[in-house]
Chain A
Amino acid sequence: LAPWIPVVGLEIHAQISSNSKLFSGSQVQFAAPPNSLVSFFDASLPGTLPVLNRRCVEAAVMTGLALNCSINKKSLFDRKHYFYADLPAGYQITQQRVPIAVNGSLSYSLCIDNKMSQMVTKTVRIKQIQLEQDSGKSLHDDTRSQTLVDLNRAGVGLMEVVMEPDMCCGEEAAAAVRELQLILQTLGSSQAVMAEGQLRVDANVSVHHPGEPYGVRTEVKNINSIRFLAKAVDYEIQRQIEELENGGTILNETRAFDSKLGCTVPMRDKEGKQDYRFMPEPNLPPLILYDAKSLPANMNHQQVINIDWIHERLPDLPSVKREKLVEQYGILPEHSFTLLNEDGLAEFFESVTKQTQMKPKKVIGWILNDLLSYLKQHSLTVKESPVSSFLLADLLNLLEKKEISSTAAKQVLAELWKGEGKTPLEIVKEQKLELLQDQKELEQICQAVIDGQENE
């Protein structure tokens, strides 16, 4: 049997973190009474016009720069037409011809064979990033055969990030998306929480034999978490391979991932190939961005976006943060991954290290093995930890000064988790966990034990 090469590409929609929408001044907020965050433009009432939100453009430029893209100094807006109840205008304003950023790359890491100690770095090319409007939300009421439409989300700014088909399996797709999520959160351009629909991923999957042209691809939608992304992609690869090996064919269709059954199913409501009738958005001139060289002298600052100014102010990206942690504290690369993977954990670790004499290489063990596993067991975030960095540092100092053994330290930590407000020293005294350093006292105890034995 000839081997199969799976090919996976991703289209990711990230909701821009902004106060107001892309082309109107209504608020962006997750849970709100239906249709309360909707302006006349969002509802597509006649006589309304789009007005571009500066913050959304800055978010897209930041993201493009972080992903090593070329920023197009002139980009254009287009209309993509299709009919659906949650798209009141009958078209979406997007950037089909000339998007704001193109030709970037994203590096991500994978563990080989599930061993954290063997990590390999991969790269996926970013085809483009475009600004576009989000649609409203449809709630399907099958019992009454109707759809309820809430336009609160209609018009919210999105960055669509298109990743080239450089990935080959669910694990790679998941790792790439995870890294993108961390980058977006670090930049602040999107909060990228998948559970709240701020990050939506569609996967394009196909398989072919080496040396042959790419196979027909399917699009997989309705993926609600990074874990499900890996499952959906791997399932679809298997499904296609089985189908082809049984003499079947793959249809160029859209499929939905059913998380309960763990499989992909054809999506209803797809009336053949869509003709979107793309046309230039007639109400918006081209979007012009500047850099230090091309900055116009006499323009209102508020109307000018300077790419170089934004570039200078980019925060340290996750990959840079990891390198700094490894260099500064002497921890292993895989440790830096875990630290950044958990919100607030890196800061917690650094805080403890500052407050204790224990070497960072030893502190990291307590953070990753004891603290993190406890938090995981009780589904707590770092922010919700009953043990503060101060308390942990205090405990580690006792251990470092050899006032207690490491077994005793674990006991104290278990007690600290109860969050009863006691200090490590108080618990040590309560439970009599102090290490005895006095030679004479030790001799007395040993003698007493031996004497006790002799009497039996």
Chain B
Amino acid sequence: QKVSVEVLDHLEHLALVDFRDSEGVERLQKAIEFADQLHEVNTDGVEPMDSVLEDRCLYLREDDVTEGNCTKELLENAREKVEEYFVAPPGNIPLPKMDEQETFLKGS
């Protein structure tokens, strides 16, 4: 079962990855096949484990102010700043649709 072009395009938009070439898509395909082996195990009536931390105790912190006040340090990372604000584009710039971009997937 091959992963459809639509799904690949959707993944590129969601995760901002670029499959770049057929090798990248092959690698994805193989990764899915590898993970699909999990379906061979019968998990009826078994509570899913979603974290190896499930038996750990979740530490609760006291409600004290212990951090912050490091505006200068944080802004050092900013390419652009205006009066202690980070600067970003006016809105999300959506990835061009498949037909408009220079993506390998176009040819698929």
> Which positions in A face B, CB cutoff 8 Å?
18-20, 24-27, 33-41, 43, 45, 51-57, 76, 81, 83-85, 138-142, 145-151, 268-269, 271, 275, 277, 280, 282-288, 302-303, 305
Interface pair A148/B86, CB less than 8 Å apart:
yes
User: Given A275-B10, A275-B14, A149 and B86 touching (CB < 8 A)?
Assistant: yes
How far, in whole Å, are A284 and B61 apart by their CA atoms in the complex? 13
**Cross-chain contact A305 with B74 (CB below 8 angstroms):** no
- Contacting A at CB under 8 A, from B61-87, are 61-71, 74-75, 77, 82-87
- Please name 26 pairs of A and B residues whose Cβ atoms are closer than 8 Å in the assembled complex, sorted by A: A19-B63, A26-B65, A33-B84, A34-B85, A35-B71, A38-B74, A40-B74, A41-B67, A43-B77, A52-B61, A53-B61, A85-B86, A138-B88, A140-B90, A141-B90, A146-B90, A147-B90, A271-B92, A271-B94, A285-B56, A285-B57, A285-B58, A287-B58, A288-B58, A303-B57, A303-B60
Q: For B71, list chain A residues within 8 Å (CB).
A: 33-36, 38
Q: Which residues of B contact A57 (CB under 8 A)?
A: 60
Q: Is the CB of B63 within 8 A of A280?
A: no
CB of B67 within 8 A of CB of A148, answer: no
The residue in B14, B70, B77, B90 that gathers the most chain A C-beta atoms within 10 A of its C-beta is B90
Q: A84 CA to B91 CA in the complex, in Å?
A: 8
Residues in chain B near residue A20, CB distance under 8 A: 61, 63-67
Name the CB-closest residue of A to B52: A282
| Cβ A35 vs Cβ B84 within 8 A | yes
Q: How far is the CB of B62 from chain A (nearest CB, A)?
A: 6
Q: How far is the CB of B46 from chain A (nearest CB, A)?
A: 17
The distance in angstroms between the C-alpha atoms of A146 and B86, with both chains bound, is: 10
Interface centre among B16, B60, B87 (most CB of A within 10 A): B60
Chain A residues positioned under 8 Å from B1 (CB to CB): none
- Interface residue B54 (Cβ < 8 Å from any Cβ of A): yes
Chain B: CB-nearest residue to A146: B87
Provide the residues of chain A in CB contact with B99, threshold 8 Å: none
- B60 / chain A contacts, CB cutoff of 8 Å: 52-54, 57, 302-303, 305
Total contacting residues, chain B, CB less than 8 A: 40
Question: Which chain A residue lies CB-closest to B62?
Answer: A54
Min Cβ gap B41→A in Å is 19
Say whether B58 contacts A25, CB under 8 Å: no
B53 sits at the interface (CB 8 A): yes
Q: A20-B64, A24-B67, A38-B74 are in contact. Are A142 and B56 (CB under 8 A)?
A: no
Q: Tell me whether B45 is interfacial, beta carbon within 8 Å.
A: no
Q: How many A-B residue pairs have CB under 8 A?
A: 144
Q: How far is the CB of A387 from chain B (nearest CB, A)?
A: 39
Q: Please list the residues of chain B having a beta carbon within 8 angstroms of any beta carbon in chain A.
A: 10, 14-16, 50-51, 53-71, 74-75, 77, 82-92, 94
CB-CB < 8 A to A280: which residues of B?
A: 50-51
Asked if residues B69 and A302 are in contact (CB atoms below 8 Å), the reply is: no
Distance in angstroms from B89 CB to nearest chain A CB is 7
Does A147 contact B51, Cβ atoms closer than 8 Å? no
Contact, CB under 8 Å: B63 / A146: no
Cα A206 to Cα B82 in complex, Å, equals 42
A148→B68 CA distance, assembly (Å) = 19
Contact pick for A148, options B62, B77, B87, CB 8 Å: B87
Is A84 in contact with B92, judged by CB distance below 8 angstroms? yes
B66 / chain A contacts, CB cutoff of 8 Å: 20, 25
The chain B residue sitting closest to A90, CB to CB, is B16
Instruction: Contact check, A34 vs B91: say whether CB atoms are below 8 A apart.
Output: no
Query: Is A147's CB under 8 angstroms from B54's CB?
Result: no
Measured CA separation A229–B60 after assembly (Å): 36
B56 touches A147 (CB 8 A): no
Residue of B nearest to A271 (CB): B94
The chain A residue sitting closest to B86, CB to CB, is A149
Contact of B63 among A18, A40, A271, A284 (CB under 8 A): A18
Bound Cα distance from A145 to B87, whole angstroms: 10
A258 to chain B, nearest CB (A): 18
With CB as the reference atom, state the residue of chain A lying closest to B88.
A85
Contacts known (A35-B86, A146-B88, A285-B53); A19 close to B74, Cβ less than 8 A: no
Q: Is the CB of B63 within 8 A of A53?
A: yes
Q: How far is the CA of A56 from the CA of B64 in the complex (A)?
A: 12
Known: A51-B61, A84-B92. 18 other contacts (CB 8 A): A19-B63, A26-B67, A27-B68, A33-B71, A33-B84, A36-B69, A36-B71, A36-B84, A38-B70, A52-B58, A54-B63, A57-B60, A85-B88, A140-B90, A149-B85, A275-B14, A302-B60, A305-B60
Residues of B within 8 A of A303 (CB): 57, 59-60
Contact of B54 among A19, A269, A285 (CB under 8 A): A285
| B49 → A minimal CB distance (Å) | 10
B residues near A148, Cβ cutoff 8 Å: 82, 85-88
